[in-house]
Amino acid sequence: MQEFDLIVIGSDSGLDVANAAYQHGLKVAIVEKDRLGGTCLNRGYIPSKMRIHSADVAETIKSASLFGINVLKYSIDFKKIVE
């Protein structure tokens, strides 16, 4: 049987708690039912921000002619954005 000073349930913001405890010398376990990082990292805030940023870049390219820049061709690889 293993013993821990702290057991963190959920690895979303729980990673911050686990890391702080580990940095102070505690033996820490993390319990996560899904992918490490939780909803925020894998399906929520961070992936959404990356997709929004890609859309902003595409919009900048689309309107580049307003700034005297002629873009002949561009395409969007949504699979790459998601990766």
Give tens-digit pLDDT for 12-50.
777 888 899 999 999 999 888 877 766 666 666 667 788
Average pLDDT over residues 53-58: 90
CA pair distance 21, 18, nearest whole angstrom: 5
Helix, strand, coil shares of the chain, percent, nearest 5, are 50, 10, 40
Write the single-letter amino acid at 63.
S
33 shares its domain with 51: no
Residue 71 confidence (pLDDT) above 80: yes
Judge contact between 7 and 22, C-beta under 8 A. no
Could you tell me the pLDDT band of residue 7, with boundaries at 50, 70 and 90? very high
53 shares its domain with 71: yes
The total number of structural domains that make up the chain: 2
Judge contact between 30 and 14, C-beta under 8 A. yes
Q: Domain of 74?
A: 44-82
